[in-house]
Amino acid sequence: MDYIYEENRIYALREDHLLLSEVTFPARDDSRVNVDHIYIDQSLRGKRAASDLMLLAYNYIKDKNKKIIAKCPYAIKWFKRHEEYQDIVINVKTKKKQ
């Protein structure tokens, strides 16, 4: 799948230009973004598309030297399941309880 990267969004389109998948992460300030929305088309659900998209977002945001505040319920769950990617996550709702 070919992903399109924008300042605060990563997404993919079908051949007919309809949205296939999307994650948005608007800037909260100069050093933080809110991962606030993820969309996966029904045709991609159950195929790891959401997880793959979250990993792309994580790498993109980390490369920009920004921190993540996860607002989207899926993003919160994803970071809880993937502790290895919590190094740039700063909201406590995302951290696993000890």
Predicted local confidence at residue 22, as pLDDT? 98
Of 39, 40, 35, 12, residue with least CA distance to 24? 35
pLDDT in tens, 15-70: 999 999 999 999 999 999 999 999 999 999 999 999 999 999 999 999 999 999 99
33 close to 66: Cβ distance less than 8 angstroms: yes
- CATH number, domain containing residue 19: 3.40.630.30
Strand partners, 6: 9
Give the contacts of 98 (CB within 8 A, at least 6 positions apart).
Answer: none
Range of the domain at 66: 4-94
Number of domains in the chain: 1
Q: Is the pLDDT of residue 82 over 60?
A: yes
Q: Is the pLDDT of residue 98 over 70?
A: no
